[in-house]
């Protein structure tokens, strides 16, 4: 017998789900608000939670990480509005085990429940995906709910041999996660071969990937094995896969299907048993629409997708990341450990980090160079451009807030333009802070900001900020 929690404000839905689950002998508890649901999940152990998306006190999807973080970490089945593909996509991306549409048949609900319980049983017996606790994290720091979802995906990817596509903005950790997939897989004793597709000279791509025979072209004095063969038994990591020239995409698709290829100037085909992990910060769907990326290759690449969130969407990770990298840098430069002043952390948290973790690491390196032997880091040690931007963003707090500390870089702007750009920057920062503070709960964000839902969504769209 399993313990099931239903969080839905719709009485009828609660009743029919209770009937279905009860018929199988499971113990069912119903709650009608997210708050009450979370309270139950925090105080009692559950195996499965049925969670409605539209609730009177917020969006159910926002609650997923908090339910997962409870001691029993139940499997979550999202209930989406009928015929809402976006809801289904969001549910899965948010880490739910499964989703069902409201109005699904008893058979569909039962199937989803049975599968979730089966998965849970396997997990308990240790037959299924290794969980985050035993995952070798390979220098991956951060314990925010979003990072945990990604780590769970790494664990799942490591268990199988499917092609993996890792997406995310520049500097968000794609290579780090790709290595973690390799290190946790059965291939970890063999090579992890990195191919930076953006740096492949077009004339040499083929020979670099597939190797060449002696005399295949002018200058080929020795035969040479390519990167694909070097990855035999291990993992081939195609970084910036969106930059792979179209001509090579076709050849590569074939290699991916058959795991065989012919070196340049060679007559025999060679086999290579590699596992492919690819990464990109480009919108590959758009590239397909623009005719710049092959759709069939994209289908192959995305057998298993890990979407890394930008750092600004997981501000909880910043402190841990800063601590980890400052310690590492101090050790490298032979300095004693440094502490953080509260204002220093506040400034790090207020900055949107468009270059993500890489920008954070680079900034910390410059910070340590500026602080030298001083034991505590203050905002004044941070690079000027970060302090300026944070100061500009604080302009929204009123006329007495800190003024920007430096003039804009190129030329002296017209007052109108300067005001507009500061305003836009401040608005963007405000929205990021608002989402972080409200934990992306749109009702809460509206309450805190005093904005209507439609106005808030319009502003988020204007500033190109992703949101639930
Ligand atoms: N979760 C993390 N924990 C610790 N360090 C991280 C994390 N994510 C990224 N980094 C660090 O940030 C830097 C950039 O990471 P990485 O090269 O993996 O990013 P990327 O997404 O592959 O970048 P690009 O798109 O530019 O290739 C590296 O120094 C890496 O160690």
**φ/ψ of residue 240, rounded to 5:** 50, 50
Convert the pLDDT of each residue in 219-261 to its tens digit.
Answer: 778 888 999 999 999 999 999 999 998 888 998 999 999 999 9
For ligand 1, whether the C-beta of 309 sits within 6 Å is no
Confidence of residue 83 (pLDDT cuts 50, 70, 90): low
Per-residue pLDDT of 95-149, as tens digits, reads 787 888 877 777 778 878 888 888 788 777 664 444 454 688 778 999 898 998 8
* Residue 109 Cα to ligand 1 middle (Å): 40
Both tokens of residue 363? 């900034």
In tens, the pLDDT along 414-428 reads 676 666 777 777 788
Rounded distance from Cα 357 to ligand 1 centre (Å): 6
For residue range 189-211, list pLDDT tens digits in order.
999 999 999 888 877 888 899 99
Residue 384 CA to residue 388 CA, distance in Å, equals 6
**Nearest-angstrom CA–CA distance, 444 and 447:** 5
Tell me how far CA of residue 416 lies from CA of 61, 388, 413, in angstroms: 41, 19, 8
- Cα(173) to centroid(ligand 1), Å: 3
Q: By the 8 A CB rule, do 288 and 230 touch?
A: no
**What residue spans in the chain does CATH classification 3.40.50.300 cover?**
145-309
Instruction: Please check whether residue 27 is in contact with residue 51, taking contact to mean a CB–CB distance below 8 angstroms.
Output: no
- Cα 177 to middle of ligand 1, angstroms: 8
**Is the CB of 57 within 6 Å of ligand 1?**
no
Q: Where in the chain is the domain with CATH 1.10.8.60?
A: 313-462
Q: Which residues contact 56 (CB under 8 A, 6 or more apart)?
A: 9, 32, 33
142 within ligand 1 shell (Cβ under 6 A) = yes
CATH number 2.60.40.1220 given to 3-125: no
Question: What kind and span of H or E run contains 415?
Answer: helix 415-437
What CA–CA distance (Å, rounded) separates 139 from 177? 9
Question: Tokens 């954070």 map to which residue?
Answer: 360
**Local structure of 130: helix, strand or coil:** coil
Superfamily of domain 145-309: P-loop containing nucleotide triphosphate hydrolases (3.40.50.300)
Query: What's the pLDDT score for residue 222?
Result: 85
| pLDDT value at residue 6 | 95
Q: In whole angstroms, give the CA distance from residue 433 to residue 463.
A: 13
Contact 34, 58 (CB under 8 A): yes
Selected from 1.10.8.60, 3.30.60.50, 1.10.150.120, 1.20.1090.10, the CATH number assigned to the domain covering 313-462 reads: 1.10.8.60
Q: What is the pLDDT of residue 136?
A: 83
């Amino acid at each position: 017998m399993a313990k099931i929690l239903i969080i839905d404000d719709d009485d009828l839905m609660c009743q029919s789900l209770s009937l279905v689950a009860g018929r199988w002998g499971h113990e069912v508890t119903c709650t009608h608000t997210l708050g009450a649901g979370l309270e139950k999940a925090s105080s009692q152990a559950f195996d499965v939670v049925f969670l409605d998306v539209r609730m009177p006190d917020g969006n159910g999807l926002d609650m997923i990480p908090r339910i997962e973080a409870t001691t029993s970490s139940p499997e979550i089945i999202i209930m989406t509005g009928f015929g809402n593909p976006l809801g289904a996509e969001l549910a899965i991306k948010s880490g739910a085990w499964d989703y069902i549409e409201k109005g699904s048949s008893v058979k569909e609900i039962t199937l989803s429940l049975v599968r979730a319980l089966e998965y849970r049983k396997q997990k308990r017996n240790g037959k299924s995906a290794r969980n985050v606790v035993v995952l070798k994290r390979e220098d991956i720091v951060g314990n925010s709910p979003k990072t945990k979802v990604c780590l769970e995906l790494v664990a799942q990817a490591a268990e199988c041999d499917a092609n993996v596509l890792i997406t995310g903005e520049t500097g968000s950790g794609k290579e780090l996660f790709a290595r973690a997939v390799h290190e946790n897989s059965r291939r970890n004793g063999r090579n992890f071969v990195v191919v930076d597709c953006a740096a492949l000279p077009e004339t040499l791509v083929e020979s670099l990937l597939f190797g060449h025979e002696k005399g295949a072209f002018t200058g080929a004095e020795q035969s040479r094995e390519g990167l694909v063969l070097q990855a035999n038994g291990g993992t081939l990591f195609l970084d910036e896969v969106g930059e792979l020239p179209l001509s090579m995409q076709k050849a590569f698709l074939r290699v991916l299907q058959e795991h065989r290829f012919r070196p340049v100037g060679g007559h025999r085909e060679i086999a290579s048993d590699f596992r492919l992990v690819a990464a990109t910060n480009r919108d590959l769907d758009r590239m397909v629409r623009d005719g710049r990326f092959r759709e069939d290759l994209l289908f192959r690449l995305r057998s298993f997708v890990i979407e890394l969130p930008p750092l600004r969407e997981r501000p909880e990770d910043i402190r841990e990341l800063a601590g980890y990298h400052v310690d590492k840098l101090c050790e490298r430069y032979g300095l004693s450990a440094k502490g953080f002043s509260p204002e220093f952390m506040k400034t790090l948290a207020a900055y949107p980090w468009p270059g993500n973790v890489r920008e954070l690491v680079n900034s910390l390196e410059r910070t340590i160079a500026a602080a030298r032997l001083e034991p505590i880091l203050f905002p004044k040690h941070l690079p000027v451009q970060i302090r300026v931007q944070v100061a500009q963003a604080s302009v929204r707090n009123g006329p007495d807030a800190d003024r920007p500390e430096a003039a804009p870089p190129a030329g002296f702007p017209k007052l109108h333009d300067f005001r507009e750009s500061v305003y836009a920057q401040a608005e963007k920062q405000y929205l990021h802070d608002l989402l972080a503070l409200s934990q992306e709960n749109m009702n809460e964000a509206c309450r805190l900001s005093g904005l209507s839902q439609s106005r808030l969504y319009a502003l988020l769209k204007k500033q190109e900020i992703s949101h639930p």
